[in-house]
Amino acid sequence: MPAVVDWGRRDYSESLEAMRALVRARRARLAPDTLILVEHPSVLTVGVEGDDGTAAASGLPVVAVERGGKATYHGPGQLVGYPVVDLEARGRDVRRFVRDVEEVVVRAVGSFGVRAEHVSGRPGVWVGGTRKIASIGIAVDHWVTFHGFALNVDLDLSPFVRFRPCGFDGSVMTSLTREAGRPVRLDETRTPVVEAWNRVFGPEARAGSGRAPETSVSLPSA
């Protein structure tokens, strides 16, 4: 069974370096597939597709990273998950991996009575097709994944209107608290996320389908 580690609340830059170290360990077969759970202080991250200028003007701390996509926000009340997974054993299927990560979130929020979904051509997890409850952005290094998802649980959504998250108007962002119609504590979401992670990424869920070799990939986030 893949491992799960919970870092609690941790600075983004410190977490980034620790995640990169785990990626190196996974590539060297010194660590198992691992889901990192963490909550970050307020920070805006910008992926490889760059920024349209609104991130720099937001007044928030900004960190450039190697994941796919443009800008997104992390802050208190958001559960961030970083799956460090070796895709060699999973058919080197990056797009399936992204959809599986989305499926983890879909199942987890479903346990709170919130019906979320995948939307074709729009990475992330959506409610009603128009309200985004979670962002997805990954990178792949020698077939080991890193970065991941950000689930808005009980998050102040106002920072999203200070820039264009993943190119969208910030008003599209929603939270589990808003959609459930009641306050949902971050701690309430950890167990449903881990249970969904184990169901989707457990050994019985693995599938092999050979793909052409690839060294480094970044997929969009939204």
- CA 154 to chain centroid, in Å, comes to 16
Active site (annotated) includes residue 8: no
**Residue listed under structure tokens 């991941």:** 148
Catalytically annotated residue among 106, 125, 136, 166:
166
> What is the per-residue DSSP string for the chain?
--EEEEEEE--HHHHHHHHHHHHHHHHTTSS--EEEEEE--SEEEE-TT---STTGGG-S-EEE-SSSSSEEEE-TTEEEEEEE-BGGGGTT-HHHHHHHHHHHHHHHHHTTT--EEEETTEEEEEETTTEEEEEEEEEEETTEEEEEEEEESS---GGGGGS-GGGS-GGGB--HHHHHTS---HHHHHHHHHHHHHHHHSGGG---------SEEEE---
Catalytic machinery residues = 166
